[in-house]
């Protein structure tokens, strides 16, 4: 490892320990949520990478007062059934920043930066003096190991404080525990339950158990047995990179030949593109040198040249959507829903990045008076992770606000969210989601992306309005029928009197009317009674032939006379049957 690298690593641990607010530790309540979130996101990524159906258990307890004013002492424990980590890897993962960074890996993973869980260890360490307590076991380990891991903030290396072999009833997995100054917020935008339910919504293959404070344990069962297929990775497109990123990318490949780096490290740079750069004045020799011997000025020139070249858009095969069928199943996990529509767009390119948008609109069955005037609930997801903060600046919120929802049947004050008992869930998947901040809370609202989300919302809006129109028509029809039911007999009676029709004629007119109103249920009742009588005759005959009493035979057939027919028979019919049979 070069000295430069050591310096970079050291400063990253120090930098983040001083700037934990940038990675989700800006308040005590956020500290608990970030801890739960980072651990679960990692567990889900690890399970997905290894084709395991995730079983995750979360526990949050309040142990007492924290050390800082206004803080509680909170313990968070997250356990998974993933591949587990070797002891050596666990020390790096929990104790070192950027240890196994997925940065620039080009996959739709939840983790992108390689700082999440080390930041949690740092917070525990700074506020409670303990780091992460980890139990880990891989399939190759004979026993599970429990260890305490801290971050060496000066050197950015993990410190293994203690380790011991422990009994664990799992063949593989990781359980991590953190004790820290924090506070617990369960519901609302920044709530833990909101995060957990959101996670369940977009991860149909997840079995999730959670026990929060003194509440009963909750179990959310998976609705799909398919582990999402991890799509191929894709390389960054040169038009999506800022100059600094381009230069940083070059440092990762120092010894590589420049031409090879450009062709293999990026999307859509071909020999023809390089030829074009040479024709535009870039010396050919530069492309045959190793990257470390190319000057920064020349790299800047290559970067500028690339921005002027027309390049194909990157491929879209690297994105991984949830799918309409699974999203539809997951919607039921939101609680009592009486209508939903889902829309999965085709993968597309926005701002030179492959992206896929999915939208679901659901209407809650339980509606209160306030619902009508309250904004709809928006659930935002990026690579299947719920986003809970800073929603106003997010591309997804912008898209909802700028759709005109009134033609679709919702009320909407000017330039704001529509209103009603609805949940609008928007999910973006992309190997290169552009977040506005390091704590991955808001997606940058570029025009192209907002437009793509709007298209998905509008498609769902069409489905919603079709449903609402049907409901309005049905309600209208029902009202008319009720009117007719109320006044038609009076009308028939009056008409019969005027025309001096006899009783028989009147009865026929009444019957015809009932038929028109779809009230021929009396016919069905009569047929049902007839069938009952026939079946009674048949069982009586059967009992006679068998030499048992009718009651004995019925008991044998249905058990205690509480047969399903009797139990399910509507009260009205039961009355008719009973009086009809003379009992």
- Angle of CA points 126, 131, 133, to nearest 5°: 155
| 100 vs 549, beta carbon nearer ligand ATP | 100
Provide the minimum distance between the beta carbon of 144 and Mg ion in the complex, in angstroms, as a whole number.
Answer: 22
| 114 vs 231, beta carbon nearer Mg ion | 114
Does 35 engage in binding with ligand ATP (CB under 6 A)? no
Looking up tokens 């957990």, which residue turns up? 196
Provide the minimum distance between the beta carbon of 470 and ligand ATP in the complex, in angstroms, as a whole number.
Answer: 44
Strand partners, 78: 58, 176
CB atoms within 10 A of CB 191: 18
Q: What, of ligand ATP, Mg ion, none, does residue 228 touch, CB below 5 to 8 Å by kind?
A: none
List 56, 174, 220, 453, residue binding ligand ATP (CB under 6 A) = 174
Provide the minimum distance between the beta carbon of 83 and ligand ATP in the complex, in angstroms, as a whole number.
Answer: 6
Strand partners, 250: none
Q: Give the dihedral of Cα atoms 230, 231, 236, 237; nearest 10 deg.
A: -160
In degrees and rounded to multiples of 5, residue 454 shows phi and psi of -60, -40
Strand partners, 173: 137
d(CA 50, CA 48): 5
The answer for residues whose C-beta is within 8 angstroms of residue 514's C-beta and 6 or more apart is 520, 522
| 201 vs 382, beta carbon nearer ligand ATP | 382
Does 12 engage in binding with ligand ATP (CB under 6 A)? no
The answer for residues whose C-beta is within 8 angstroms of residue 240's C-beta and 6 or more apart is 351, 352, 353, 432
List 20, 46, 262, 269, residue binding ligand ATP (CB under 6 A) = 46
Does 277 engage in binding with ligand ATP (CB under 6 A)? no
- Angle of CA points 302, 307, 309, to nearest 5°: 95
In Å, what is the CA distance from 74 to each residue of 31, 62, 132? Answer: 10, 5, 13
In Å, what is the CA distance from 317 to each residue of 139, 163, 305, 308, 309? Answer: 32, 43, 27, 26, 23
Stretch that binds ligand ATP, among 37-45, 64-72, 300-308, 470-478 (CB under 6 A): 37-45
d(CA 90, CA 512): 80
Provide the minimum distance between the beta carbon of 152 and ligand ATP in the complex, in angstroms, as a whole number.
Answer: 16
Quick check: 200 and 221 in contact, CB under 8 A? no
Stretch that binds Mg ion, among 37-45, 248-256, 422-430, 519-527 (CB under 5 A): 37-45
Provide the minimum distance between the beta carbon of 122 and ligand ATP in the complex, in angstroms, as a whole number.
Answer: 11
Does 44 engage in binding with ligand ATP (CB under 6 A)? no
DSSP single-letter state for residue 392: G
Does 111 engage in binding with Mg ion (CB under 5 A)? yes
Using CB under 6 A as the criterion, what x/- string covers residues 47-86 for binding ligand ATP?
---------------------------------x-xx-x-
Provide the minimum distance between the beta carbon of 192 and ligand ATP in the complex, in angstroms, as a whole number.
Answer: 18
Stretch that binds ligand ATP, among 38-46, 192-200, 304-312, 499-507 (CB under 6 A): 38-46
Stretch that binds ligand ATP, among 36-44, 198-206, 400-408, 537-545 (CB under 6 A): 36-44
Contacts 24+ apart (CB under 8 A), 568-571: none
Give, as ranges, the residues between 543 and 582 that touch ligand ATP (CB under 6 A): none
Tokens of 371: 């619902």
| 118 vs 138, beta carbon nearer Mg ion | 118
| 95 vs 111, beta carbon nearer Mg ion | 111
d(CA 320, CA 370): 37
| 361 vs 443, beta carbon nearer Mg ion | 443
- Angle of CA points 365, 367, 369, to nearest 5°: 170
Provide the minimum distance between the beta carbon of 291 and ligand ATP in the complex, in angstroms, as a whole number.
Answer: 25
In Å, what is the CA distance from 546 to each residue of 225, 532, 550? Answer: 51, 21, 10
Its sign, for the CA torsion 270, 271, 274, 279, is negative
| 39 vs 299, beta carbon nearer Mg ion | 39
Q: What is the largest CA-CA distance in the chain?
A: 112
CB atoms within 10 A of CB 424: 25
Does 144 engage in binding with ligand ATP (CB under 6 A)? no
| 42 vs 344, beta carbon nearer Mg ion | 42
Stretch that binds ligand ATP, among 7-15, 42-50, 514-522, 568-576 (CB under 6 A): 42-50
Does 24 engage in binding with Mg ion (CB under 5 A)? no
CB atoms within 10 A of CB 201: 26
Provide the minimum distance between the beta carbon of 317 and Mg ion in the complex, in angstroms, as a whole number.
Answer: 24
Using CB under 6 A as the criterion, what x/- string covers residues 372-411 for binding ligand ATP?
----------------------------------------
Using CB under 6 A as the criterion, what x/- string covers residues 110-139 for binding ligand ATP?
-xxxxxxxx---------------------
| 16 vs 261, beta carbon nearer Mg ion | 16
Give, as ranges, the residues between 42 and 61 that touch Mg ion (CB under 5 A): 42
Identify which of 405, 314, 328 has the alpha carbon closest to the alpha carbon of residue 359: 328
Residues at the site binding Mg ion, with contacts judged by CB under 5 A: 42, 111, 116
- Footprint of ligand ATP (CB under 6 A): 38, 42-43, 46, 80, 82-83, 85, 93, 100-102, 111-118, 174
């Amino acid at each position: 490892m070069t000295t430069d690298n050591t310096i970079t690593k050291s400063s990253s641990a120090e930098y983040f320990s001083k700037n934990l607010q940038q990675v989700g530790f800006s308040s005590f309540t956020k500290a608990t949520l970030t801890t739960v979130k980072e651990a679960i996101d990692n567990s889900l990524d690890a399970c997905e990478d290894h084709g395991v159906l995730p079983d995750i258990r979360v526990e949050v307890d309040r142990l007492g007062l924290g050390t800082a004013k206004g803080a509680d002492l909170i313990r968070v424990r997250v356990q998974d059934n993933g591949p587990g980590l070797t002891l050596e890897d666990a020390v790096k993962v929990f104790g070192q920043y950027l240890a196994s960074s997925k940065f620039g890996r080009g996959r739709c993973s939840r983790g992108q930066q390689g700082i999440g869980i080390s930041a949690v260890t740092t917070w525990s360490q700074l506020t409670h003096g303990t780091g992460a307590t980890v139990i880990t076991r891989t399939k190759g380990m004979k026993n599970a190991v429990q260890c305490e891991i801290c971050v060496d903030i000066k050197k950015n290396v993990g410190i293994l404080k203690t380790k011991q072999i422990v009994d664990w009833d799992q063949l593989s997995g990781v359980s991590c525990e953190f004790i820290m100054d924090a506070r617990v917020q369960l519901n609302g935008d920044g709530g833990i339950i909101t995060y957990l339910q959101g996670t369940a919504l977009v991860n149909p293959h997840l079995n999730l158990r959670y026990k929060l404070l003194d509440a009963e344990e909750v179990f959310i069962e998976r609705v799909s047995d398919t582990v999402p297929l991890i799509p191929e990775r894709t390389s960054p497109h040169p038009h999506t990179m800022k100059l600094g990123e381009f230069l940083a990318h070059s440092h990762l490949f120092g010894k590589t030949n420049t031409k090879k780096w450009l062709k293999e490290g990026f999307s859509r740079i071909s020999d023809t593109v390089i030829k074009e750069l040479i024709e535009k004045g870039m010396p050919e020799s530069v492309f045959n040198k190793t990257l470390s011997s190319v000057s920064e000025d020349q790299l800047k020139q290559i970067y500028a040249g690339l921005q002027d070249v027309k390049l194909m858009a990157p491929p879209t095969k690297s994105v991984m959507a949830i799918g309409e069928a699974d999203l539809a199943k997951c919607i039921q996990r939101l609680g009592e829903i009486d209508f939903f529509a889902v829309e999965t767009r085709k993968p597309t390119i926005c701002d030179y990045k492959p992206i896929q948008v999915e939208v679901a609109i659901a209407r809650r069955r339980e509606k209160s008076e306030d619902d009508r005037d309250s904004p709809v609930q928006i659930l935002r997801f990026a690579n299947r992770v719920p986003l809970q903060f800073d929603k106003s600046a997010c591309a997804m919120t912008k898209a909802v606000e700028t759709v005109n929802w009134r033609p679709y049947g919702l009320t909407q004050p000017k330039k704001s969210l529509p209103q009603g008992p609805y949940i609008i869930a928007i999910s973006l998947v992309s190997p290169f989601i552009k977040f506005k901040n390091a704590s991955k809370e808001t997606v940058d609202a570029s025009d192209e992306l907002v437009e793509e989300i709007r298209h998905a919302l509008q498609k769902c809006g069409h489905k919603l309005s079709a449903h609402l129109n049907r409901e309005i028509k049905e309600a209208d029809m029902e009202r008319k029928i009720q009117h007719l039911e109320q006044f038609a007999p009076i009308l028939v009676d009056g008409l019969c009197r005027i025309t001096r029709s006899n009783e028989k004629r009147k009865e026929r007119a009444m019957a015809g009317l009932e038929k028109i109103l779809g009230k021929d249920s009396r016919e069905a009742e009569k047929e049902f009674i007839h069938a009952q009588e026939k079946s009674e005759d048949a069982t009586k005959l059967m009992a006679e032939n068998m030499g048992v009493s009718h009651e004995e035979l019925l008991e044998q057939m249905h058990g205690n006379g509480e047969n399903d027919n009797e139990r399910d028979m509507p009260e009205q019919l039961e009355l008719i049957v009973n009086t009809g049979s003379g009992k």
